[in-house]
Amino acid sequence: MTRYPNPLRLTILYIGLGLARLGLIDRERAVQTTVLAWPRIVTGIARMSKNVVDVAMVGVAVGQAAIAGVGFAGPFWGLAFAIGGGVAGGTLALVSQRFGADATEELGLAVRSSTLFVVAISVPVTVVFWTFPQELISLISSNEQAIEHGATYLQVVGLGIPFAGLNLVGSRTLVGADDAYTAMQVRASGAVLNIVLNTVFIFGLSWGVAGAALGTVLSNVVIAFVFALGIATGRVPGVGSFPVEVDPFGTYVDPDTLRDIVKIGLPIGARNLVWTVAEFPMLSILDIFGETTVAAFVIARRIWGLMNTPGWGFGLASSSLVGQALGQNNERLAEAYGNDIIRFSVATYAVSAVIIALFADQIVMLFVDDPTSAEIPIATNLVYAACVAVLFQGVTAAAAGPLDASGDTRIPFLSQSIGVFGGAIPLAYLGATTSLGYWGLYLSFVAEKSVPAAINYWRFRTNKWKSISEAFRPETSTADD
pLDDT per residue over 50-103, tens digit each? 666 666 677 666 666 677 777 777 778 777 667 777 788 778 778 877 877 777
Classify residue 481: in a domain, yes or no: no
Residue 235 three-state SS:
strand
Confidence of residue 408 (pLDDT cuts 50, 70, 90): confident
Classify residue 1: in a domain, yes or no: no
Confidence of residue 471 (pLDDT cuts 50, 70, 90): confident
| End-to-end CA separation in angstroms for the chain | 31
Classify residue 322: in a domain, yes or no: yes
Q: For the purposes of burial, counting CB atoms within 10 Å of the CB of 199, is it exposed (0-12), middle (13-18) or buried (19 or more)?
A: middle
Confidence of residue 479 (pLDDT cuts 50, 70, 90): very low
Classify residue 213: in a domain, yes or no: yes
Residue whose C-alpha is closest to residue 113's, from 305, 251, 211: 251
Strands 240-241 and 235-236: antiparallel
pLDDT in the model for residue 369: 64
Count Cβ atoms below 10 Å from residue 481 Cβ, excluding itself: 8
Q: What is the pTM of this model?
A: 0.68
Q: What mean pLDDT comes out for the span 14-29?
A: 91
Side-chain-side CA neighbours of residue 481 (13 Å): 8
DSSP state for residue 338 in the 8-state scheme: H
Question: How many whole angstroms separate alpha carbon 309 and alpha carbon 394?
Answer: 10
Classify residue 475: in a domain, yes or no: no
Question: How many whole angstroms separate alpha carbon 149 and alpha carbon 211?
Answer: 11
Q: Are 314 and 345 spatial neighbours (Cβ–Cβ below 8 Å)?
A: yes
pLDDT in the model for residue 163: 92
pLDDT by residue (tens digit) across 220-269? 899 999 999 998 888 888 888 888 888 888 888 888 888 888 887 777 77
Q: Among 165-174, 252-261, 372-381, which range has the highest average pLDDT?
A: 165-174
Q: For the purposes of burial, counting CB atoms within 10 Å of the CB of 232, is it exposed (0-12), middle (13-18) or buried (19 or more)?
A: middle
pLDDT in the model for residue 49: 65
Question: How many whole angstroms separate alpha carbon 201 and alpha carbon 46?
Answer: 19
**pLDDT surpassing 70 at residue 217:** yes
pLDDT in the model for residue 10: 86
Domain count, the chain: 1
**pLDDT surpassing 80 at residue 399:** yes
In DSSP notation, 194-229 reads HHHHHIIIIIIS--HHHHHHHHHHHHHHHHHHHHHH
**pLDDT surpassing 90 at residue 447:** yes
Element (H, E) at 411: helix 410-417
**pLDDT surpassing 70 at residue 104:** yes
pLDDT in the model for residue 19: 92
Per the rule left: phi > 0, alpha: psi between -120 and 50, beta: everything else, 463 is: left
pLDDT in the model for residue 69: 73
Q: What mean pLDDT comes out for the span 442-450?
A: 92
Q: What mean pLDDT comes out for the span 38-57?
A: 70
Query: Which is more confidently placed, 370 or 431?
Result: 431
Q: What is the mean pLDDT of the chain?
A: 82
pLDDT in the model for residue 3: 47
Query: Which is more confidently placed, 480 or 135?
Result: 135
Classify residue 201: in a domain, yes or no: yes
Classify residue 478: in a domain, yes or no: no
Question: How many whole angstroms separate alpha carbon 2 and alpha carbon 459?
Answer: 38
CB neighbour burial string for 293-317, b if at least 16 within 10 angstroms, e if fewer:
bbbbbbbbbbbbbbbbbbbbbbbbb
**Domain enclosing residue 210, as ranges:** 7-469
Classify residue 55: in a domain, yes or no: yes
Tell me the residue type at 153.
Answer: Y
Q: Percentage of the chain surpassing pLDDT 90?
A: 18
Q: What mean pLDDT comes out for the span 35-45?
A: 77
